[in-house]
Amino acid sequence: MQKRKLGKSSLEVSAVGLGCMGMSFGYGPAGDEKEMVSLIRSAVECGITFFDTAEVYGPFTNEQLVGEALAPLREQVVIATKFGFKLDPNGERRWVGLNSRPEHIKQVAEGSLKRLEIDAIDLFYQHRVDPDVPIEDVAGAVQDLIRQGKVKHFGLSEAGVQTIRRAHAVQPVTAVQSEYSLWTRDPERELLPTLEELGIGFVPYSPLGRGFLTGKISENTAFDNSDFRNLLPRFTPEARKANRVLVDLLGRIAERRGATPAQIALAWLLAQRPWIVPIPGTRRLERLKENMGAVAVELTLDDLRDIDNSASKIKVHGARYPEDLERMTGR
């Protein structure tokens, strides 16, 4: 597995990471714990060193899973987790708002350290920007944790470029995580140029369009009632049918390159910048290996031009989030 550095930082990780959220949250019933532990350990054996989780995934259960799986392999891996949500005080397993007050950030860090069974969090992201807390205070709180040796690197998720600049001026930001794929290209306008200027790495989540760009989902696919894709405008049957043209484009390039649509989607992302590290998620070993295979797919300039020219004529149907969740991005 090739390695990449996140921006100008010293943080080096596998060129493709593993998003662990879907193993226990968001995409229907949680996977079998023993099977998921085995999958995470298999990922390390295959060369993946970068694992992404968050307090709110579950809540808590995903961090516990990742902690158990990686405890015997700690020296070989980089673990990223996140803070910033307010969890239901009545014990319900859900979030009820945002909370990035410094004292809360420090409480979350302590909980994450215990659940992940680690002495220091390698990369600690603010999950969503809290409009009620100045980003300078957030960056200062993480800086305190870095000085205490409890956190190694600071990250932001779905932040706007001005927020990134303000945070970076207080505590250097190692990585920004946002959704980015062939059907979500908003980061190209302002975010990528800003990260390049500041020397910050980029970690695209949902690089396979929440599974859609693999070609395995059609307008007739039925999701479990607890699958959050049921709430996303881009996943209505009508939108899926209209967006199939993107999968057809990936399939055409995949046939030319002897690869799969998923591998082309990931290879396209990797070709955009040398400091981009996508984190596709999966519950299946064969899909994990397929995703890793994208690193070996070398798209030519003609391939990249073909993809860009064709994609520029395709209108993506449906917003990526409902309005209430969309408002929490780009702040």
* Residues known to be catalytic: 57
Per the DSSP assignment, residues forming a β-bridge with 85 are 98
Q: Is 171 left (phi over 0), alpha (psi -120 to 50) or beta?
A: beta
DSSP 38-78: HHHHHHHHHT--EEE--TTTTTTHHHHHHHHHHGGGGGG-E
Long-range contacts of 147-152 (CB under 8 A, 24+ apart): 149/119, 149/120, 150/109, 150/110, 150/113, 150/119, 150/120, 150/121, 151/109, 151/120, 151/121, 151/124, 152/11, 152/120, 152/121, 152/122, 152/123
In 3D space, the residue among 152, 119, 116 whose CA is nearest the CA of residue 20 turns out to be 116
- Give the DSSP H/E element, type plus range, for residue 124: strand 121-126
Locus of tokens 């390159």:
257
Per the DSSP assignment, residues forming a β-bridge with 184 are 181
Q: How many Cβ atoms are within 10 Å of 253's Cβ, its own excluded? A: 22
Q: Are 23 and 32 in contact (CB under 8 A)?
A: no
Q: How many Cβ atoms are within 10 Å of 224's Cβ, its own excluded? A: 11
Integer-rounded Cα Rg, in Å, for the chain is 19
In 3D space, the residue among 71, 24, 63 whose CA is nearest the CA of residue 44 turns out to be 71
- Give the DSSP H/E element, type plus range, for residue 306: helix 301-312
